[in-house]
């Protein structure tokens, strides 16, 4: 792609960020400001200008979904040939954990050392470590504390003192947690096992302690890009510093208003202190929000003032629907109202753009059951037992040949989506592992470090944390009460500021329509309205609402000709995808994703050039004939 084309669709702030000098750069990117677009265009611009070697680029993200999206966008810009990592002449894009694992795998290959095995069942290992004094239902809480300690680089010996120093609330006595933490670490070491965070600490230690490994790693990764940097914890920051050394070729994107993982060990102060850590970096801001309507952004800004700051953001969209603030009598009316709101959305066939958000899983779980009982599909992102069992089978494979045969058999014979996704990930691992010894243990470690559960179609019910990085046409926030917003566990000033940021993140997931619901009673107790929604901005529709429950029935299939035509085209495109996938022994989603199919249906491309803007030029040229044939056979509604 030529230089002008890279800059053509950027606003002035984005263009400045993409074209600034190749020195240390920090970008403050507000919600909906196009930060991923800026980051990927920056990589492409640097490569086009000749100031970055694509094989020396490292881009670090916090989720596999974000890494996949970045690779996809770079592919559309002509930078990567494949939507996967591992090509030696292409940028390396991955999470902190996957990048650390890749480095350890390379080091193991170079030194003939054994690759560490990632713990499969942490609860079981913790119970074994504690012997006759298991924690039972409290195991998950203790493991969460161990993760926090790892992230903060706190040893078992320092845990009690650190918890007391910062006033951290812990479900168990700190001494009991410290004892369990110590026993867990000892058993891991004895069995040669590691947690995911251990991958980062081991990779960091190898870089810091071995000059030859540090030199090779820094030669390999000369240009470092970090996304969502406000969520770095001290462990991840140490890894970033080890990778960087004393070099200034870093491009860091973050938004202090979206720093929401302090409970899990993240420290937003690390991002705000970067200007002092780097040598006179360029600091730029992306204030334009292209996602939210002015009404939605006004509500989000109002919520953010509870953090003591007024966001420097403004909507670039035209005026939209008014935000709704509704009060219901209790959680049962909340359930009825939600079904009343969701049902027309489902009937219109646009469920993927609808999300219900709450502060905790406890609020969402009864709503999920109620929606399912009413015939409304609910999406799921939780890992299945099938996936876990499949990874265990992978671990039993001894050689590359065994892994190849296992993956091919699953893809050809299995009808379970979870199992087939594992098989496709094994194939990706084999393609990327072109050097060194490959066996089932290393493949299983890769799968556990790069886990992504399958997504089932339906209305998305997500916690505020899980919704981070997502966007939806319509969002309903439930549980707008004190005790949930802010959460009752928040007591310190920093925790309360983070709760306000979390509510801001939830509001900015909505693009077009935002509804906030407060129940006056929950679990039989009178509630107090959330302070975040006091003295609401002008234009917010506030009202009480009582919905009479309609008889339970399955939602009817839409009869609108346009909707039927779209569904027929989606079906035929999926059929094409399935045929190609079977022919090439791969998963359908690796050929054409559901998101890409949705864009094709929406845009109805009539030539390869238009299709390339959706799929990228290589995929469009490869699949264009079959796709365009199906599109041309669809009647225009």
409 assigned to some structural domain: yes
Domain boundary among 256, 289, 322: 289
Q: What is the pLDDT of residue 428?
A: 78
Cβ–Cβ under 8 Å, residues 293 and 258: no
555 assigned to some structural domain: no
Kindly list the distances between the CA atom of residue 255 and the CA atoms of 14, 112, 315, 401, 436, in Å, as whole numbers in the listed order.
15, 42, 16, 46, 40
Name the pTM for this structure.
Answer: 0.73
Residue 300 sits in a domain whose CATH number is 3.40.50.300
For residue range 483-538, what is the model confidence (pLDDT) as tens digits?
999 999 888 888 899 999 999 999 999 999 999 999 999 999 999 999 999 889 88
Do 310 and 325 lie in one domain? The reply is yes
Asked if the model's pLDDT at residue 81 lies above 60, the reply is: no
> Which of 62-71, 283-292, 316-325, 343-352 is the least confident region?
343-352
| Unique residue bearing structure tokens 């190898």 | 206
Residue 571 sits in a domain whose CATH number is 1.10.150.80
Length of the chain counted residue by residue:
637
What is the separation, in whole angstroms, between the first and last Cα of the chain? Answer: 35
Give the tokens for residue 535: 């003295």
| 3-class DSSP assignment, residue 554 | coil
Asked if the model's pLDDT at residue 416 lies above 70, the reply is: no
For residue range 548-604, what is the model confidence (pLDDT) as tens digits?
444 444 444 445 677 778 888 888 888 788 677 655 545 566 678 777 888 898 889
Bridge partners for 356 per DSSP: 461, 476
Asked if the model's pLDDT at residue 352 lies above 50, the reply is: no
Q: What is the pLDDT of residue 220?
A: 93
Domain that holds residue 66: 3-112+199-289
Do 279 and 299 lie in one domain? The reply is no
> Which of 65-69, 95-99, 339-343, 477-481 is the least confident region?
65-69
Angstrom distance (rounded) from CA 378 to CA 462: 11
Do 141 and 187 lie in one domain? The reply is yes
Pick from 350, 626, 635: nearest CA to 472: 350
483 assigned to some structural domain: yes
Per DSSP bridges, beta strands 324-328 and 288-289 are unpaired
Give the tokens for residue 74: 């770079």
Domain boundary among 450, 469, 493: 450
556 assigned to some structural domain: no
528 assigned to some structural domain: yes
Do 498 and 578 lie in one domain? The reply is no
Q: What is the pLDDT of residue 12?
A: 92
Do 173 and 209 lie in one domain? The reply is no
Do 485 and 526 lie in one domain? The reply is yes
Give the tokens for residue 12: 């002035």
Do 339 and 462 lie in one domain? The reply is yes
Domain count along the chain? 5
Angstrom distance (rounded) from CA 150 to CA 430: 30
Bridge partners for 378 per DSSP: 459
550 assigned to some structural domain: no
Q: How is residue 231 annotated by DSSP?
A: G
Segment 401-427 shows an average pLDDT of 74
Burial of 97 (0-12, 13-18, 19+ CB in 10 A): buried
Angstrom distance (rounded) from CA 177 to CA 143: 9
494-499: long-range contacts, CB 8 A cutoff, minimum separation 24: 494/262, 495/262, 495/263, 496/306, 497/307, 497/308, 498/259, 498/260, 498/262, 498/263
Burial of 176 (0-12, 13-18, 19+ CB in 10 A): middle
Residue 151 sits in a domain whose CATH number is 1.10.10
């Amino acid at each position: 792609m030529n230089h002008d084309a890279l800059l053509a669709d950027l606003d002035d702030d984005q263009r400045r960020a993409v074209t600034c000098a190749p020195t240390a750069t920090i970008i403050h990117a507000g919600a909906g400001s196009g930060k991923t677009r800026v980051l990927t265009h920056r990589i492409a611009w640097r490569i086009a200008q000749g100031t970055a070697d694509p094989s020396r680029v490292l881009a670090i993200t916090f989720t596999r979904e974000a890494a996949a999206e970045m690779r996809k966008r770079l592919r559309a810009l002509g930078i990567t040939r494949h939507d996967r990592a591992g090509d030696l002449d292409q940028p390396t894009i991955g999470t902190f954990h996957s990048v650390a694992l890749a480095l350890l795998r390379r080091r193991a290959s170079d030194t003939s050392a054994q690759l560490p095995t990632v713990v499969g069942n942490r609860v079981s290992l913790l119970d074994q470590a504690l012997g006759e004094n298991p924690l039972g239902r409290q195991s998950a809480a203790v493991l969460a504390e161990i993760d926090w300690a790892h992230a903060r680089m706190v040893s078992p010996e320092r845990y009690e003192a650190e918890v007391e120093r910062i006033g951290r609330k812990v479900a168990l006595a700190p001494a009991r947690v410290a004892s369990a933490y110590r026993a867990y670490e000892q058993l891991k070491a004895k069995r040669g096992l590691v947690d995911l965070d251990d991958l980062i600490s081991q990779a960091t230690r190898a870089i810091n302690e071995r000059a030859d490994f540090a030199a090779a790693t820094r030669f390999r990764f000369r240009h470092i890009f970090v996304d969502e940097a406000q969520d770095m914890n001290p462990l991840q920051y140490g890894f970033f510093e080890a990778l960087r050394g004393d070099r200034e070729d870093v491009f860091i994107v973050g938004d202090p208003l979206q720093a929401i993982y302090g409970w899990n060990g993240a420290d937003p102060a690390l991002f705000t202190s970067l200007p002092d850590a780097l040598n006179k970096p360029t600091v730029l801001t992306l204030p334009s929000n292209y996602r939210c309507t002015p009404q939605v952004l006004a509500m989000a800004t109002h919520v953010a003032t509870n953090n003591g700051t007024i966001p420097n953001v403004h909507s670039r969209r035209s005026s939209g629907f008014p935000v709704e603030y509704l009060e219901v009598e209790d959680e049962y009316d909340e359930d009825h109202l939600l079904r009343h709101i969701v049902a027309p959305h489902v009937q219109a066939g646009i469920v993927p753009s609808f999300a219900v958000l709450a502060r905790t899983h406890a609020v969402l779980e009864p709503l999920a059951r109620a929606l399912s009982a009413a015939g409304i599909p609910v999406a799921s992102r939780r890992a299945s037992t099938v996936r876990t069992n499949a990874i265990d089978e992978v671990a039993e494979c001894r050689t590359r040949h065994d892994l190849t045969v296992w993956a091919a058999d699953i893809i050809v014979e299995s009808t379970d989506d979870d199992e087939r996704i594992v098989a496709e990930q094994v194939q990706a691992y084999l393609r990327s592992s072109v050097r060194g010894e490959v066996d089932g243990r290393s493949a299983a470690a890769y799968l556990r470090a790069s886990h992504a559960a399958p997504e089932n179609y339906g209305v998305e019910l997500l916690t505020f944390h899980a919704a981070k990085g997502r966007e939806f046409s319509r969002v309903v926030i439930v549980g707008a009460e004190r005790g949930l917003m802010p959460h009752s566990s928040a007591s310190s000033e920093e925790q309360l500021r983070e709760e306000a940021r979390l509510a801001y993140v939830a509001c900015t997931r909505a693009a077009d329509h935002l509804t906030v619901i407060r129940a006056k009673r929950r679990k039989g107790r009178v509630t107090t309205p959330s302070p975040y929604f006091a003295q609401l901005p002008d234009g917010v529709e506030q009202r009480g609402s009582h919905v009479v429950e309609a008889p339970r029935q399955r939602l009817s299939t839409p009869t609108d000709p346009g909707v039927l035509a779209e569904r027929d085209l989606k079906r035929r495109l999926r059929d094409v995808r399935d045929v190609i996938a079977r022919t090439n022994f791969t998963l359908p989603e690796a050929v054409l994703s559901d998101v890409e199919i949705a864009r094709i249906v929406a845009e109805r491309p009539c030539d390869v050039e238009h299709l390339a803007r959706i799929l990228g030029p290589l995929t469009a040229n490869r699949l264009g004939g079959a796709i365009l044939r199906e599109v041309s056979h669809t009647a225009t509604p």
